[in-house]
Amino acid sequence: MPALSPAIYEAMGEEGIFRMLSDFYHQLEASSIRGLFAEDMQAAGKRSAAFYVQLLGGPPMYNELYGNPMMRKRHFPFEIDEEARVVWRDCFYTTLENAGTNYGFPAEHLEAFRDFIERFSQWMVNIK
């Protein structure tokens, strides 16, 4: 997995990342995989945002609040097939369409992040 540049967190800050994840969870809420998630989507969005803060070069917020990410293991309770993955990924891609203007995401790092989303989501698939 290529390292993501800490310049992303520097540009967006915690605030920009939380807003991006809030919008992403709104996308998921309106998608065909909404049923995988618990009632309170925005609560899940905030836990996810803490993960992206540390992933994109900020302080280890997820570890401090929720412990070791172990993302694949944390996703085992949910049945994630290739079809769900594509829906999830495309919701993220939609959120990223105007990420520069909306959240201050630095344009030169967008492609690497999209690539991360593609690869990491493949790793999360746990049923045929």
Among 51, 103, 105, 113, binds ligand HEM (CB under 6 A): 51
CA distance 127 to 36: 14
In whole angstroms, the minimum distance from the beta carbon of 121 to ligand HEM comes to: 4
> Would you tell me the crossing angle of helices 82-96 and 110-124 to the nearest 10 degrees?
160
Encoded tokens for 68: 């070791």
| DSSP assignments along 23-68, one per residue | HHHHHHHTSTTGGGS-S-HHHHHHHHHHHHHHHTTS--HHHHHH--
- Report if residue 36 touches ligand HEM, rule: CB under 6 A: yes
- Report if residue 48 touches ligand HEM, rule: CB under 6 A: yes
Residues 5-34 that bind ligand HEM (CB under 6 A): 33
Choices 8-16, 70-78, 95-103, 104-112; region in contact with ligand HEM by CB under 6 A: 70-78
Among 7, 71, 76, 108, binds ligand HEM (CB under 6 A): 71
Report CA 46 to chain centroid distance, whole Å.
10
What does the binding site for ligand HEM look like in residue numbers (CB under 6 A)? 33, 36-38, 44, 47-48, 51, 66, 71, 74-75, 78, 80, 84-85, 88, 120-121, 124
